[in-house]
Amino acid sequence: MDLQTLTYIVVGLSFALYIGIAFWARAGSTSEFYVAGGGIHPVANGMATAADWMSAASFISMAGLIAFFGYGGTVFLMGWTGGYVLLAMLLAPYLRKYGKFTVPEFIGDRYYSNTARVVAVVCLILASVTYVIGQMKGVGVAFSRFLEVDYDTGLYIGMGIVFLYAVLGGMKGITYTQIAQYCVLILAYTIPAIFISLHLTGNPIPQFGLGGTLAGTDTYLLDKLDQIVQDIGFSEYTTQFRLSMTNTFFYTLSLMIGTAGLPHVIIRFFTVPKVSDARKSAGWALVFIAILYTTAPAVAAMARYNLMNTLEPAPGEYMKYDERPSWFSTWEKTGLLAVEDKNGDGRIHYSANKDENELVKIDNDIMVLANPEIAGLPNWVIALVAAGGLAAALSTAAGLLLAISSAISHDLLKGVFRPDISEKGELMASRITMAFAIMAAGYLGLNPPGFAAGTVALAFGLAASSIFPAVMMGIFSKKINKEGAVWGMVGGIGITLFYVFQHKGIMFIPGTEFLGSMKPNWFFGIEPNAFGAVGAIVNFAIAFAVSKVTAAPPEHIQHIVEDIRVPSGVGSASNH
């Protein structure tokens, strides 16, 4: 059976599964729509959290970034993993004990202020929308590539699938669909890795294969890779930093607290029955995430090694363009891979020297998606990777859209404008809001703004500088009052946007930088994508300073903050 037919069958079966779950798990109340009824088993919630956490960026892009940045690319691995640990240890159990539907609802109650709640909604929407733009673009690219349709058709198909299970089931439908999507994506990620590790190193476990020797030799895989990349002028694969030590530190910290502050993951811990279940589900999610995240460095190194060997099978013998493999020409059609025969010899010369390099474009995302083809694996494995990539893109997009619609229907409509709305009316409003959120996200995916490429990184910075500090201080400091929280969020997200727009242009429009060229103005050499950590520090500083000179929080609020961290009653949680 040819690859395309097999891809249609595997992807079609996964879609049928998602749609079947959508009808089975229809939400009948606001509790089911916002938090899946609060009765999800910890293991199931751990699996759904892992799928929610691991977006197309984790499945497709992370290994590609590590493959080309080497050690410097591991900031994403450390930042995203560390962020999850931070969330699991410091936020999730306490937020579940508080017993609310959404993050802005917690902030509004803790800081006894509708203003704080509205500011949190604005920050949440800013972070989620910037993130979802990148996800919808990923949905369009992945669907168009694997289903061989144009980008717009691919995006419409993706929107239709998300519409069915998100609008019908809300959090309940999304949860059970994400469990299925996790199974699909983890099989799609690990099976090719096992095949490739076995082929290259003779060890079927990729994590061990990464540290092992090449099959039939005494040469370690990483030593060989270091030698190959250095021979053509690149930095050593296993030691290079991302710009500088300081920048690497702040980039990792920004990703860490940014991911811990992303609302679509935080709300997953509202879906379990008890506080102890929130801790258990956090532990299970860490296990499920670790399976992919510990495999990624192996996938990256092996993909880079296979690519180098394909382009230059023996020293000085470069691949002939006319004899390029089929996967190469397929990716050329997408525009993500491009060649320019500068010396006219009909061969592809890959080098760090820009004047000599003839592989003028190779997108990071290709490394995972094309890896099975580069390694010559069977067609069914390649089709499985296609289904996995689509599952990863859909799972995170659905979670983000739910966070946005919940913020509007529950926090703004019921919490501020229509407190007397009936449950039936709120449920209908939630579905309508979700439908509009999907259409708006689809529109942005069809007409991506010029800054689309930078939005995913920006989302982490916005969440890090606004939501994370407010939630942290809400749990661990009874001295922070409503004025401090509000001005802290405004100051943190404001300084982050100011810095990003100064260096990348207002709304990423070239030529609108307002303080001159980029690198000379970097604050201690920190790149804009890493500035969220500085924004978070500003947020903390403002919140404490303003709280110091304004009235202390009411007594009952201070008691709530003390009670939320008391170990007694850890098995119980407030009802939603």
Q: Which residues on adjacent β-strands are paired with residue 220?
A: 213
Q: How far apart are CA 8 and CA 22, in angstroms?
A: 21
**Pair 111, 474: CB distance under 8 Å:** yes
Q: Which of the pair, 350 or 149, is modelled with greater confidence?
A: 350
Angle CA 329–332–336, to nearest 5: 145
The pair of structure tokens assigned to 502 is 């100064």
3-state class (DSSP) for residue 470: helix
Q: Which of the pair, 369 or 569, is modelled with greater confidence?
A: 369
Give just the sign of the alpha carbon dihedral 16, 19, 21, 23. Answer: negative
- The pLDDT tens digits for 76-94 are 778 878 888 888 888 877 8
Q: Please report the pLDDT score of residue 517 as a whole number.
A: 55
Q: How far apart are CA 372 and CA 183, in angstroms?
A: 19
Q: How far apart are CA 367 and CA 528, in angstroms?
A: 26
Where do the H-state alpha helices sit in 54-150? Answer: 56, 62-69, 74-86, 92-98, 103-110, 114-147
Residue 348, C-beta contacts closer than 8 angstroms, at least 6 positions apart: 311, 318, 319, 320, 321, 324, 339, 341, 358, 359
Angle CA 46–205–392, to nearest 5: 40
Q: What is the mean pLDDT of residues 531-539?
A: 91
- The pLDDT tens digits for 44-70 are 988 988 888 777 777 777 788 788 877
Q: Half-sphere exposure of residue 285, counting CA atoms within 13 Å on the CB side?
A: 32
User: Whose structure tokens read 């168009």?
Assistant: 144
Q: Which of the pair, 205 or 457, is modelled with greater confidence?
A: 205
**Pair 205, 34: CB distance under 8 Å:** no
Q: Please report the pLDDT score of residue 230 as a whole number.
A: 85
Q: What is the mean pLDDT of residues 338-357?
A: 85
Q: What is the mean pLDDT of residues 290-304?
A: 89
Q: Which of the pair, 555 or 401, is modelled with greater confidence?
A: 555
As a residue count, the chain comes to 576
Q: Please report the pLDDT score of residue 59 as a whole number.
A: 79
Residue 575 has pLDDT above 60, yes or no: no
Q: Please report the pLDDT score of residue 20 as a whole number.
A: 86
Residue 548 has pLDDT above 90, yes or no: yes
Q: What is the mean pLDDT of residues 274-301?
A: 87
Compute how many other C-beta atoms are within 10 angstroms of the C-beta atom of residue 208: 12
Residue 333, C-beta contacts closer than 8 angstroms, at least 6 positions apart: none
3-state class (DSSP) for residue 73: helix
Residue 441, C-beta contacts closer than 8 angstroms, at least 6 positions apart: 129, 132, 133, 135, 136, 159, 397, 401
**What mean pLDDT, rounded, does the chain reach?**
82
Lowest model confidence (mean pLDDT) among 31-35, 146-150, 181-185: 146-150
Domains identified in the chain and CATH numbers = 3-565 (1.20.1730.10)
Q: Please report the pLDDT score of residue 491 as a whole number.
A: 94
Phi, psi of 220 (to 5 degrees): -70, 145
Q: Which of the pair, 274 or 488, is modelled with greater confidence?
A: 488
Which H/E stretch holds residue 462? helix 452-465
Q: What is the mean pLDDT of residues 382-397?
A: 80
Long-range contacts of 306-310 (CB under 8 A, 24+ apart): 306/196, 306/200, 306/371, 306/374, 306/375, 307/67, 307/367, 307/374, 308/225, 308/228, 308/229, 308/350, 310/374
- Give whichever of 49-53, 113-117, 413-417 has the largest mean pLDDT: 113-117
Q: How far apart are CA 210 and CA 225, in angstroms?
A: 11
Q: Please state, in angstroms and as integers, the Cα–Cα distance from residue 282 to each residue in 56, 234, 276, 487, following that order.
A: 21, 40, 10, 31
Residue 378 has pLDDT above 80, yes or no: yes
Q: Half-sphere exposure of residue 191, counting CA atoms within 13 Å on the CB side?
A: 20
Lowest model confidence (mean pLDDT) among 187-201, 224-238, 287-301, 513-527: 513-527
Q: What is the mean pLDDT of residues 513-542?
A: 77
- The pLDDT tens digits for 155-188 are 888 888 878 777 877 888 888 888 888 888 898 8
Q: Please state, in angstroms and as integers, the Cα–Cα distance from residue 30 to each residue in 131, 169, 261, following that order.
A: 25, 10, 24
Q: How far apart are CA 322 and CA 373, in angstroms?
A: 18
Q: Please report the pLDDT score of residue 542 as a whole number.
A: 96
- The pLDDT tens digits for 420-474 are 888 888 888 888 888 888 888 888 777 765 544 456 667 888 888 999 999 999 9
pLDDT band at 129 (very low <50, low <70, confident <90, very high): confident
Percent pLDDT > 90 in the chain is 13
For helices 74-86 and 275-293, the axis angle rounded to 10 degrees is 170
**Pair 479, 559: CB distance under 8 Å:** no
Q: What is the mean pLDDT of residues 255-273?
A: 81
**Pair 490, 460: CB distance under 8 Å:** no
Residue 46, C-beta contacts closer than 8 angstroms, at least 6 positions apart: 280, 281, 282, 283, 284, 285, 286, 287, 288
Q: What is the mean pLDDT of residues 265-274?
A: 81
Q: Please report the pLDDT score of residue 377 as a whole number.
A: 81
User: Whose structure tokens read 């474009």?
Assistant: 361
Where do the H-state alpha helices sit in 220-320? Answer: 221-231, 245-260, 263-266, 275-293, 296-311
Report field, pTM of the whole predicted structure over 0.85? no
Q: How far apart are CA 376 and CA 386, in angstroms?
A: 15
3-state class (DSSP) for residue 461: helix
Q: How far apart are CA 210 and CA 304, in angstroms?
A: 12
Residue 33 has pLDDT above 50, yes or no: yes
- The pLDDT tens digits for 474-510 are 999 989 999 999 999 999 999 998 888 777 666 666 6
Q: Please report the pLDDT score of residue 569 as a whole number.
A: 47
Q: How far is CA 207 from the centre of its chain?
A: 22
